[in-house]
Amino acid sequence: MTSYHSQPDALADVQLDAYYMDGLDEDQRLPHRHFVPWDTINVSPATLPEYDEKIKTFFEEHIHTDEEIRFVLEGSGYFDVRDLEDRWIRIHVKTGDMLVLPEGIYHRFTLDTSNHIKALRLFIGDPVWTPLNRPQETHPSREKYTSSFPIAV
Ligand SMILES: [Fe+2]
């Protein structure tokens, strides 16, 4: 069981969708969403070219200008996302987990002690790979994300 099952409210609060699935069907359909699988990334010292550099990049806090959608095919790892008080929420993803990180959320990724994750990268439109490292407070994607929450009274 993945750790996010114990904190579904925390993930919903930051508008992050998390699912466990036995596998993707032929159309890679999820309830109410349709993602297009783009490629597979295999992260381990033996399989990822320029591993040391890449793993550092993944762990730099960043945003994207689109959703980050990952389906874990093998292995495991950690996604960290910021909550609304700027604290980290750590999500331990394992085989069968699907995560949809919203556009503009601050996040980072690292491996766990298994030192290996193989994941499908999915997109709705054209793929966007570029990580935009923090701070990005005035970036339109960040503003879109932060302005999507109700104002506290
Ligand atoms: Fe990312």
The CATH number of the domain holding residue 73 is 2.60.120.10
Contacts of 80 (CB under 8 A, 6+ apart): 88, 89, 90, 91, 107, 108, 109, 110
Domain membership flag for residue 19: yes
Q: What is the pLDDT of residues 42-70, one digit of tens each?
A: 999 999 999 999 999 999 999 999 999 99
Q: How many domains does the chain have?
A: 1
Binding site membership for Ni(2+): which residues? 62, 64, 68, 107
Domain membership flag for residue 91: yes
Domain membership flag for residue 152: no
Q: What is the pLDDT of residues 60-104, one digit of tens each?
A: 999 999 999 998 999 999 999 999 999 999 999 999 898 999 999
Domain membership flag for residue 124: yes
Distance 110 CA to ligand 1 centre (A): 11
Domain boundaries, position 88: 3-145
